[in-house]
Chains A and B, each alone.
Chain A
Amino acid sequence: AQKVTQAQTEISVVEKEDVTLDCVYETRDTTYYLFWYKQPPSGELVFLIRRNSFDEQNEISGRYSWNFQKSTSSFNFTITASQVVDSAVYFCALSEAGRRALTFGSGTRLQVQP
């Protein structure tokens, strides 16, 4: 069975601080996909990134960066120089190859104070 753990329930930072959201996953599959989604107060889940299990390269997109480490089954997300608009709930998710069912973590609520 798959499992995604986001141990941080809520994080509060002041604008311009860097913040890292942790994600630890469990799966027996050798091929799988990892995702991060953002859920602003409006409710819609916004796709941020997808990683497959064979690609351990870290990725940077503007202020966002992701650190994928298979050795520790982690897929952490860092926001550099946080902004108030980053305030949202962030979800890490996992899917097996060939199955489009996502297993979500419980989410981390990020509050960025001005």
Chain B
Amino acid sequence: KAGVTQTPRYLIKTRGQQVTLSCSPISGHRSVSWYQQTPGQGLQFLFEYFSETQRNKGNFPGRFSGRQFSNSRSEMNVSTLELGDSALYLCASSLVGTGVETQYFGPGTRLTVL
């Protein structure tokens, strides 16, 4: 079974621009979560989507948003990029309804904001 895939793997943007990252979950997984990893703040939860609805949200500004499609694929968008948004963005997927909520992670998208 293929793992979680994320595109693109690397991205360079400039301040003020916006960016969209994509995540395809493991087949059959219906929940997708996003995390930001930086050297200063570590791994932080951004948000989680299930059945095309945002279920949980971390403590990030409204510039960070996401959505989920009917095939469970998810995108996250960051508008008006700031230097501090440079990070590794990790997507994770999990089954829902089994009582076992292990999240499996993709390889990440490394975003650099200049």
In the bound complex, how far is the Cα of B44 from the Cα of A104, in angstroms? 7
State the main secondary structure of chain B at its contact with A: strand
- Asked if A101 is at the interface of the complex by the 8 Å CB criterion, the answer is yes
Residues of B within 8 A of A95 (CB): 101
- Asked if A64 is at the interface of the complex by the 8 Å CB criterion, the answer is no
Contact A43 B110 (CB under 8 A): yes
Interface residues of A in 18-64 (CB under 8 A from B): 33, 35, 37, 42-47, 50
Q: Which of A43, A45, A100, A107 sits near B42, CB closer than 8 Å? A: A107
- Asked if B72 is at the interface of the complex by the 8 Å CB criterion, the answer is no
- Asked if B64 is at the interface of the complex by the 8 Å CB criterion, the answer is no
Known A101-B56, A104-B43; judge A42-B107 contact (CB<8 A): yes
Contact A47 B56 (CB under 8 A): no
Tally chain B residues at the interface, Cβ within 8 Å. Answer: 26
In the bound complex, how far is the Cα of B43 from the Cα of A43, in angstroms? 12
Kindly provide the distance from the CB of A112 to the nearest chain B CB, expressed in whole angstroms.
Answer: 22
Interface string of A50-93 (1 = CB under 8 A from B): 10000000000000000000000000000000000000000101
- Asked if A106 is at the interface of the complex by the 8 Å CB criterion, the answer is yes
In the bound complex, how far is the Cα of B58 from the Cα of A99, in angstroms? 12
Residue of A nearest to B58 (CB): A101
In the bound complex, how far is the Cα of B100 from the Cα of A46, in angstroms? 17
Contact B107 A101 (CB under 8 A): no
- Asked if A102 is at the interface of the complex by the 8 Å CB criterion, the answer is yes
Chain A residues proximal to chain B, CB less than 8 Å: 33, 35, 37, 42-47, 50, 91, 93, 95, 99-107
A-B contact pairs, 14 of them (CB 8 A): A43-B88, A43-B107, A44-B108, A45-B92, A46-B105, A50-B100, A100-B50, A100-B94, A100-B103, A101-B45, A101-B56, A103-B45, A107-B42, A107-B43
Chain B residues proximal to chain A, CB less than 8 Å: 31, 33, 35, 42-45, 48, 50, 55-56, 58, 88, 90, 92, 94, 100-108, 110
